[in-house]
Chains A and B, each alone.
Chain A
Amino acid sequence: MGNIFRNILYQGRNSYRDKSFIFWILLYPIIMAIFFYTAFSGIMDIDFKNIEVGIEEENSIRTVFESIDILNVNITPEKDSIDKLNKGDIEGFIDKNLNLSVKKSGINQTIIKEILDQIRQMGELNVPFEKFDFETNYVIDRNQRANSIIILFYSLIGMVSIYGVFPGIEIATTIQANLSNVAKRMNISPLRKGEFLFSGVIISLLLNIASNILLLLFITYVLKIKLLFDIGPSALLILVGNLFGITFGILLGVSNKLKLNAKIILSIAITLVLSFFSGMMNPEIKVMIDKSFPIIGKINPISIITNNLYRINLLGNTSGLDTGIYTLIGWIAVLNLISYGFLRRKTYDSI
């Protein structure tokens, strides 16, 4: 037990002295969060802007349009209408014959058209006006904010929770005699590789979780975006994500003879691609992939963490959590088995 504690202490110190560790695990996620915040904070809180409609002053329909909440009526003489449409000051112009001119097709133009359609359709229905009841609302409002942009932040948390991949690679490299000098010495000493590996996993887990907590604190208190409302299940996901990251790192470390730097770059590329698929650069990509290749979202570890995090915290939906956790544990088991295959009974005739 004493050995394990000593190993944990030394490996921890080692990691903290490593500049690449500090950068990728501590600084990089915070820099990304700042990028997301600067670029997307304006989009996250959208407001319903009224639709600007141009009508001539003497047009009889003007009062009807003025009574509609979502429209802003601009008194516009017909001769100025094209100029105003081109400049984007108005989105539609209604002439005295109730014809509509627009610059492009879009939702706001369609809404104006639909209102004009309705006036014509009421005439076509040919029933007395008093039979129309526009006072009753037949709809029960079930408001749900659409906020797919916030997925970027959940995806970022998903990505950094598997950043245990870096210390994982480092541990694996440190115990292979053909890759590191420490391992050469370890091989001829009574130090047990298993113990070293175990303590490496523990310290990586602790350090990466600490960096995850730091990122979450930064997002919550500095950027003032609250992401975690249901802490328990979220923490469990992040913890399993961390374990996955470390086992994945160990596999990357033991499965090839690439240099440490090359392995780190490879792992950055892989995590970036996986995060990309989970919606970290643009949530529409996640939606597109869920539609075209749903299997990717179900097996991609970062997608599993991202999807469950926003479902748990913003939609109060924990239904996919079990499957997600089991899939991640499945991954961990498979990766561990493969790594074990690479590591077991490894001897060196000469180095």
Chain B
Amino acid sequence: MTVFKYFIKIALRNKGIILSYIIVFLILSIINGNTSYNKETNFIEKKLDIGIVDNSNSELSKELVSYLKKKNNIIPTTADEKHIREQIFLGIANAVLIIPQDFENKISNKVSAIELYKDDRTPEAYQVENQINKFISFAKATYEDNRYDLSMVSNALDESIEVSLVARDEKDINENTNTWFRIYFNFSSYIILAIYISVIGFVMTDLTSKEIENRRKVSSIKFLKFNREIYLGQLAIAAFITSIFLLGSIILRGKYIGEVDFAKYVINTLVFSFAALCLVFLINNITSNKFVLSGLSTILSLGTSFISGVMVPQELLGEKVLGIAKFFPTYYFVKINEMNINSLLDVKYELSMQLLFAMAFLVVGLYLSRVKLRNQ
């Protein structure tokens, strides 16, 4: 097992690449974890992120602020217009409102009073504007003897209708937790492909260099045995890298795996890893130039992630983009992660497509390696 041993040894020399990718990935997964994991059994009103600057501090403005606080998440902001615009631009806030000093005066004179920063193209913008106008109209409707009856307004605004959540078709899945797993596994496809191509590719360039080739030819080791140990080495490294991601999900969210379809994620990741390994096999038969490999590692992993829905959901991508994405296994991998299934049969097409790609990569790779051998 000399070849196998050296394969692993050289692969682990690239631990810098493996570690840097994995550390960044795990840090992001931890940051991504600050969301709720409660199961959606009731309808929950969508709370918006809004910033409020109250320059009036009047009874009316305070009541408006307290109403908006009840309905939304209040985020810190400042009266600086540049800062506010950046908060909206980046999506940190859905809206920011500035209540002027002479708020009550303006309201009683029916003058537009509140400066509202928002992106008009979004439903959130409509929602906040509606909440503000509703509160003021209600308050004005109670205006008598130079005063508003704000307790009456508050009581009325506490009224709400019942909303029922219709039963789902799919398995009983905790959607909030599922989102974390979906993002985690989608993203792992990018890292798995990038590490496979660079690490396994680099080892292969070392092991297939002319010097090693010549030494192998004069040694007693058989070509078949040499290759078998190399493939075993590739499989071992691939299994090691993939298992880090599988284990990572168990370590980070182990107690929630019962609430999602964990088996689906595991099987999908294993199938994808196999397809990725076959792709690496093909690439290694195309080039053994380290510079080309590092370029391919970045471009293929990032490129397929961008067009297959790892970075943004597939439904937001154009049809043409998805049309191209269908020529890569990542597309089918992401599609399975995005689906809620009753059994693996629901995703048999997507799983078989990944396996078919794996086979196609293998066949083309084998053909190229035969051509190379013949030329030698």
Contact = CB atoms under 8 A, between A and B. Distances in A.
A43 B311 CA distance: 12
- Residue of A46, A82, A110, A116 with most chain B CB atoms under a 10 A cut-off: A110
Interface in A27-59: 28, 31-32, 35-36, 38-43, 46-48, 51
Nearest to A115: B130
Given A28-B295, A28-B299, A100-B161, A142 B117 contact: yes
Contact of A43 (B152, B167, B312): B312
A114 B134 CA distance: 10
B240 interface: no
A299 to B, nearest CB: 17
B294 A265 contact: yes
A189 interface: no
B246 interface: no
A343 interface: no
A317 B112 CA distance: 27
Given A98-B161, A102-B163, A127-B141, A319 B82 contact: yes
Interface string A315-326: 111010000000
Given A110-B46, A315-B86, A51 B123 contact: yes
A109 to B, nearest CB: 7
Q: Which of A36, A136, A138 has the most CB of B within 10 A?
A: A138
B133 interface: yes
A99 B291 contact: no
A287 B133 CA distance: 30
B40 interface: yes
B166 interface: yes
Looking at chain B, what size class is its interface with the partner chain? 35 or more
Nearest to B64: A138
B138 A86 contact: no
A31 B118 contact: no
B116 A113 contact: no
Contacts of A111: 123, 126-127, 130
B295 A117 contact: no
B120 A141 contact: yes
Interface in B203-258: none
B79 to A, nearest CB: 13
Contact of A121 (B112, B126, B159, B167): B159
Nearest to A273: B24
A43 B46 contact: no
B115 A140 contact: yes
A286 B295 CA distance: 25
A147 interface: yes
A78 B44 CA distance: 23
Interface string A206-219: 00000000000000
A102 B306 CA distance: 32
Interface in A88-131: 98-111, 113-114, 116-118, 120-122, 124-125, 127, 131
Interface in A120-174: 120-122, 124-125, 127, 131-134, 136-148, 151
Contacts of B84: 144
B85 A315 contact: yes
B166 A148 contact: no
A109 B46 contact: yes
Nearest to A43: B316
Contacts of B321: 38-39, 42
Interface string B322-338: 00100000000000000
Nearest to A141: B116
User: Which residue, B122, B168, B295, has most C-beta atoms of chain A within 10 A?
Assistant: B295
B46 A120 contact: no
A139 B311 contact: no
Interface stretch (A5-13, A229-237, A243-251, A275-283): A275-283
A38 B112 contact: no
Interface residues of A, number: 93
A138 B164 CA distance: 33
Contacts of A151: 90
A120 B134 CA distance: 13
Interface in B95-119: 97, 106-107, 110, 112-119
Contact of A32 (B116, B136, B302): B302
A292 to B, nearest CB: 6
B136 A144 contact: no
Contact of B86 (A124, A137, A311): A311
Contacts of A132: 137-138, 141
A314 interface: yes
A346 interface: no
Interface string B130-151: 1111101110111000000000
Contacts of A289: 31
Most buried by B among A36, A105, A151: A105
A332 interface: no
A23 interface: yes
A236 B197 CA distance: 38
A105 B166 CA distance: 11
A70 B91 CA distance: 22
Contacts of A110: 45-46, 127
B226 to A, nearest CB: 25
Interface in B1-60: 16-17, 20, 24, 28, 31-32, 40, 43-46, 48
25 contacts: A36-B306, A42-B316, A51-B123, A99-B163, A102-B163, A103-B168, A105-B46, A106-B46, A110-B45, A120-B160, A121-B159, A125-B141, A127-B142, A136-B137, A137-B133, A138-B113, A142-B116, A145-B89, A145-B119, A147-B89, A272-B298, A281-B302, A311-B82, A315-B82, A317-B86
A-B pairs with lowest CB-CB distance, top 5: A125-B156, A39-B306, A146-B119, A144-B88, A110-B46
Given A107-B123, A113-B163, A143-B119, 8 more contacts: A28-B298, A42-B321, A70-B126, A102-B166, A104-B40, A107-B124, A120-B161, A287-B90
